[in-house]
Amino acid sequence: MYLRNFWYIAAMPQEIGRSLLQRFILDEAILFYRKEDGTPVAMKDACPHRNMPLSEGVLIGDTVQCAYHGLEYDSSGVCTKIPGQVNIPPRCRLQTYPLVEKWRWLWIWMGDAEKADPADIPDFHWNDDPDWTPTGGHFYIKCNYSLLVDNLLDLSHETFVHPTTIGNAAVAETPVRTEHEENEVRVLRQINGQPAPPLYVALKDFTGDIDRTQNITWTPPTNIVIESRSMPSGSNDPDMILEYRVLNGITPATAGSTHHFWATPRNFAPEEEVTEAFHEGSVRAFSEDVGILEKQQTMIDHESAANGGAPKWVDINADQGGLLARREFKRLYDLQQA
Ligand code: FES
Ligand SMILES: [Fe+2]
């Protein structure tokens, strides 16, 4: 189940260059490269002749030559050469996809091209804002995207999965409040007068208890912004505020694999060594999630195959946000199909 008329993050700009890259997005193989003038290109990664992936071919100027029988395609997907043949059938062309660079990511439009409006790219401005210092990366996870959405909408897992960085007992023990409207789900957690988790102590030298705000916003199809703000309990010293965002662009690759584009821009201590500590802590925590999600998917696949259907889960209070996001996603999917 994919929502097509939305922008998805396809890549970090530095991932796309003068070599051919294949990436699956919404179950379609897409070929990425940059033209000689630097413009990024996205087109279907399958030669219309016999389905050879063009990403296995070579780039000659702005033209891609197929590795099998040498057919050539320009950057608009039009076949410009068939060796040993003059006539080029009009059907011999590749679908191209709108691609826009914004907030230090490349966004791809997988729906009706005439509906692609860059103004609809979600607001991830913290990743490209002089007041915020960004760091980020990309994980390829062998799980369905919905498991990652659930994971980011229920941060009670931090207590058990991330005890060496952002988790401690206070997170799971503090219930959340959930709000929702059309196209938006919010999960709000306010932790007051509790110890700081290890990464926060390392970054900010918190010695006593802190107040910690964790507000999560989901917007369709699969965008999640986590607003995180902590300070010593009872203090209003602006120098002691630890504030950052966790920006998550979740792009389904296939039914069983997902691209997680993440960034953790912060508005304090722009120094390089703090960026390194923040990056390292984020990668450690997200890698722990990857371990959980892939094990979870393996078990779901096994049980689905053995019982001829998806396992029936028990829901708990902490699942509220994830369940609302699924419901909103389904509403939009039904509209799309109609
Ligand atoms: S499959 Fe590409 S040229 Fe034949
Ligand atoms: Fe996590």
| 251 alpha carbon – ligand 1 mean position (Å) | 29
Q: How far apart are CA 120 and CA 94, in angstroms?
A: 25
| 292 contacts: CB under 8 Å, gap ≥ 6 | 151, 157, 161
Instruction: Convert the pLDDT of each residue in 102-150 to its tens digit.
Output: 999 999 999 999 999 999 999 999 999 999 999 999 999 999 999 999 9
pLDDT confidence of residue 108: 98
Token pair belonging to 151 = 């994971």
Domains of the chain, CATH where assigned: 7-118 (2.102.10.10), 126-337 (3.90.380.10)
Counting ligand 1 atoms within 8 A of each CB, the residue from 31, 45, 47, 93 with the most, and so the one to mutate, is: 47
**Which ligand is closest to the CA of 216, given by its number?**
2
**Residues near ligand 1 with C-beta < 6 Å?**
47, 49-50, 52, 66, 68-69, 71
Say if residue 326's pLDDT is above 90: yes
| 45 alpha carbon – ligand 1 mean position (Å) | 12
Instruction: Convert the pLDDT of each residue in 1-42 to its tens digit.
Output: 999 999 999 999 999 999 999 999 999 999 999 999 999 999
| 85 contacts: CB under 8 Å, gap ≥ 6 | none
Say if residue 211's pLDDT is above 90: yes
Q: Pick the closest to residue 263 from 168, 125, 163 (CA basis).
A: 125
Q: What is the mean pLDDT of residues 302-311?
A: 93
Return the ligand 1 atom nearest residue 52 CA: 1
Counting ligand 1 atoms within 8 A of each CB, the residue from 71, 73, 88 with the most, and so the one to mutate, is: 71
Q: What is the mean pLDDT of residues 229-255?
A: 96
Q: What is the mean pLDDT of residues 41-56?
A: 98
Inter-helix orientation angle 272-307/145-153, to 10°:
120
| 33 alpha carbon – ligand 1 mean position (Å) | 19
Residue with tokens 């005439």: 114
Q: How far apart are CA 186 and CA 226, in angstroms?
A: 10
| 291 alpha carbon – ligand 2 mean position (Å) | 10
8 Å CB contact between 213 and 244: no
Quote the percentage of the chain above a pLDDT of 70. Answer: 100
Return the ligand 1 atom nearest residue 47 CA: 2
Return the ligand 1 atom nearest residue 66 CA: 2
| 289 alpha carbon – ligand 2 mean position (Å) | 5
Q: What is the mean pLDDT of residues 189-214?
A: 95
Average pLDDT over all residues of the chain? 97
Return the ligand 1 atom nearest residue 51 CA: 1
Q: How far apart are CA 244 and CA 166, in angstroms?
A: 12
**Which ligand is closest to the CA of 81, given by its number?**
1
Q: How far apart are CA 86 and CA 65, in angstroms?
A: 17
Taking CA atoms only, the protein residue closest to ligand 1 atom 3 is 69
Bridge-based pairing state of the strands 257-263 and 136-141: antiparallel
Taking CA atoms only, the protein residue closest to ligand 1 atom 4 is 69
| 202 alpha carbon – ligand 2 mean position (Å) | 19
8 Å CB contact between 178 and 187: yes
Say if residue 236's pLDDT is above 90: no
Taking CA atoms only, the protein residue closest to ligand 1 atom 1 is 50
3-state secondary structure the chain: CCCCCCEEEEECHHHCCCCCEEEEECCEEEEEEECCCCCEEEEECCCCCCCCCHHHCEEECCEEECCCCCCEECCCCEEEEECCECCCCCCCECCECCEEEECCEEEEECCCHHHCCHHHCCCCHHHHCCCCECCEEEEEECCCHHHHHHHHHCHHHHHHHCCCCCCCHHHHHCCCEEEEECCEEEEEEEEEEECCCHHHHHHHCCCCCEEEEEEEEEECCCEEEEEEEEEECCCCCHHHCEEEEEEEEEEEEECCEEEEEEECCECCCCCHHHHHHHHHHHHHHHHHHHHHHHHHHHHHHHHHHHHCCCCCCCCCHHHHHHHHHHHHHHHHHHHHHC
Return the ligand 1 atom nearest residue 70 CA: 3
Return the ligand 1 atom nearest residue 57 CA: 2
